[in-house]
């Protein structure tokens, strides 16, 4: 087996290339190890796909960056029976790995090397794939703003998301869309947000889909009705803790479904966010692709359904 570390040098607060190389030098592994440094957006997908097309050996790709880097590696590896994808989470949010206990397990390279491969579902969005969560409405607009806010030193990390949420209160509270789920129209009008989830977390600390499972062949879809800013302020803490689906005071505005295929349509183009990547269009088909990816779960990591300690993740 060949271990290939795909490093995004611009992900996270600093370039981790030299730190990673030093850690790899301490490992006692007989298998060949390579480090590939990406050169720009889309390069990880192209490099992984090239390797998959040319391989006759088992490959294990390590996405070294945030959720966007993981998304690119996944899009390159999907469909290759000899490829497995691992995550070395050194970006800002690192949301997907929280499903399996958090980044402390995934930053342990020995645990990664001993990790087992598990088949997991993927979300297909038109001709792209998402491993974690697809958002539109308020969250997509906030995610788009967060990218620009990260350019400012004082708004890096989690602070960029909070700043984006505050800014989006101005123009993101009502978003018009028609939603068809498994052939039935379930929504047609204004909404606050909608999400289609495979994993649990978005925005670094928000547990948007606490009931999601990555291997059940279903999307956890949520639609939130338009609400006032005051009520939004009350909801945000519940949303962060994953309590919003069961809160009696939120029952009237939470619309939850478990489905296989969703159509999002609107008269005007809107933004959709998949694993932190922003797309624009007026019609998106979102579907679940059961067991479409071989994903490496490090030794000791597991899914408990209880969420993770966000403060420990920040540390």
Q: What is the pLDDT along the chain (315 residues), one digit of tens a residue?
A: 999 999 999 988 889 999 999 999 999 888 999 999 999 999 999 999 999 999 889 999 999 999 999 999 999 999 999 999 999 999 888 999 999 999 999 999 999 989 999 999 999 999 999 999 999 999 999 888 876 655 655 555 566 667 777 888 888 899 999 999 999 999 999 999 999 999 999 988 899 999 999 999 999 999 999 999 999 999 999 999 999 999 999 999 999 999 999 999 999 999 999 998 999 999 999 999 999 999 999 999 999 999 998 888 877
**Phi, psi for 138 (deg, rounded to 5):** -55, -50
Q: Which helix (H) or strand (E) holds 25?
A: helix 17-25
Question: Fold identical between 2-115+298-314 and 130-290?
Answer: no
CA dihedral 286, 289, 294, 297 (to 10 degrees): 60
Helices 158-168 & 138-149 angle (0-180, nearest 10): 130
Count of other CB atoms within 10 angstroms of residue 272: 25
- CATH number attached to the domain at 130-290: 2.60.200.40
Q: What is the third-level CATH fold of 2-115+298-314? A: Rossmann fold (3.40.50)
Please state whether beta strands 128-130 and 175-181 pair in parallel, antiparallel, or not at all (unpaired): unpaired
What is the predicted pLDDT for the residue at 243? Answer: 97
Q: Cβ distance 302 to 100 under 8 Å?
A: yes
* Pair of tokens at residue 275: 């694993």
Q: Which residues lie closer than 8 Å to 169 by C-beta, 6 or more apart?
A: 229, 232
pLDDT for 158:
62
Local structure of 313: helix, strand or coil: helix
What is the per-residue pLDDT for 310? 85
pLDDT of residue 157: 59
Judge contact between 175 and 219, C-beta under 8 A: no
The residues spanned by each domain of the chain are: 2-115+298-314, 130-290
């Amino acid at each position: 087996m060949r271990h290939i570390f795909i490093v995004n040098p611009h992900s996270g607060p600093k370039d981790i290339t030299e730190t990673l190389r030093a850690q790899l030098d301490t490992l006692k592994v007989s298998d060949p190890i390579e480090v590939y440094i990406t050169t720009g957006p889309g390069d990880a997908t192209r490099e992984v796909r090239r390797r998959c097309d040319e391989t006759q050996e088992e490959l294990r790709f390590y996405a070294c960056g945030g959720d966007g880097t993981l998304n690119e590696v996944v899009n390159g590896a999907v469909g290759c029976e000899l490829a497995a994808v691992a995550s070395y989470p050194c970006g800002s949010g690192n949301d997907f790995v929280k499903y399996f206990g958090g980044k402390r397990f995934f930053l342990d390279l020995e645990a990664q090397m001993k990790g087992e491969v598990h088949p997991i579902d993927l979300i297909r969005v038109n001709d792209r794939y998402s491993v974690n969560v697809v958002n539109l409405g308020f969250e997509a607009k906030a995610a788009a703003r967060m990218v620009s806010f990260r350019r400012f030193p004082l708004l890096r990390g989690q602070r960029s998301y909070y700043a984006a949420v505050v800014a989006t209160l101005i123009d993101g509270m009502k978003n018009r869309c028609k939603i068809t789920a498994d052939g039935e129209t379930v929504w047609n009008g204004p909404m606050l947000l909608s999400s289609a989830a495979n994993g649990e977390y978005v925005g670094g600390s928000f547990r948007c889909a606490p009931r999601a499972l990555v291997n059940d062949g279903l999307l956890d879809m949520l639609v939130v009705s338009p609400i006032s800013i005051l009520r939004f302020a009350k909801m945000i803490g519940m949303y962060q803790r994953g309590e919003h689906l069961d809160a009696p005071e939120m029952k009237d505005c939470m619309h939850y479904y478990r489905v296989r295929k969703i159509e999002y349509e609107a008269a005007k183009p809107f933004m959709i966010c998949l694993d932190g990547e922003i797309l624009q269009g007026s019609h998106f088909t979102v579907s679940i692709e059961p067991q479409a990816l071989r994903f490496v779960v490090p030794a000791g990591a597991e899914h408990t359904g209880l969420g993770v300690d966000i403060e420990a993740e920040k540390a």
